[in-house]
Structure formats: structure tokens, C-alpha cells
């Protein structure tokens, strides 16, 4: 069974500070339809903690997150 997630949009925010990452996620999600999936790629270690908190507060859902050592991937589903 293939459980690969196919995002509707991908944001590669490698090298961006956490505050800018959150701002760009918010902008991207605003333009997406309900049920769509946004993949976010980051390198700022703070995002590992801040993105899940922000996503929960914003009413969206993290359906998967992957820690690849120095790269973090989040798959965020819009309500």
C-alpha cells in the first residue's frame, strides 16, 4: 500500500528564520482550498516546535512531519 502524501503546493523555506517561515505558511494557506495539502520544507530548528503549535491554533492540521536531521518537512492540511 502506497501511503505517500501528494501535496497540492510546496514551500521550500530552507534558510529562512522561523518568524518568516510562519508568515509565509500563513500566506500560502490563505490561498488554498479546504482539504488541500501544503508541504513545508525548513531548516530552522525552531520550526520543529513552532509550526505544530501555530498550525493547531490556526485550525489547520499537520498530517505528517518528517525530521531528516537538518531538514524538517511538514504536511499541513487545510480544513
pLDDT digits (tens, 9 = 90+) for 18-51: 999 999 999 999 989 999 999 999 999 999 999 9
What region does 65 belong to: left with phi over 0, alpha with psi -120 to 50, or beta? beta
State the residue range of the domain holding 17.
Answer: 9-77
pLDDT of the residue at 4: 86
Q: Is residue 69 part of a domain?
A: yes
In a domain, 16, yes or no: yes
The pTM of this model reads 0.92
In a domain, 72, yes or no: yes
Euclidean distance between the first and the last CA atom of the chain, given in angstroms as a whole number: 26
Q: Has residue 55 been placed in a domain?
A: yes
Contacts of 77 (CB under 8 A, 6+ apart): 35, 36, 37, 38, 60, 61, 62, 63
Cβ-contact 68, 49 below 8 angstroms: no
- Report the catalytic residues: 18
Domain count of the fold of the chain: 1
Report yes or no on 25 lying in a domain: yes
| Residue 77 confidence class, pLDDT cut points 50, 70, 90 | very high
Predicted local distance difference test score (pLDDT) of residue 1:
45
Supply the CATH number for residue 23's domain: 3.30.110.40
Segments in the chain forming alpha helices (H): 18-30, 47-58
Amino acid at each position: 500500500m502506497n501511503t505517500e502524501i501528494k501535496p497540492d503546493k510546496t514551500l521550500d523555506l530552507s534558510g529562512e528564520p522561523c518568524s518568516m517561515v510562519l508568515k509565509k505558511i500563513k500566506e500560502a494557506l490563505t490561498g488554498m482550498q479546504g482539504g488541500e495539502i501544503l508541504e513545508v520544507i525548513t531548516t530552522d530548528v525552531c520550526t520543529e516546535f513552532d509550526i505544530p503549535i501555530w498550525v493547531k491554533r490556526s485550525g489547520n492540521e499537520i498530517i505528517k512531519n518528517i525530521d531528516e536531521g537538518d531538514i524538517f518537512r511538514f504536511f499541513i492540511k487545510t480544513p
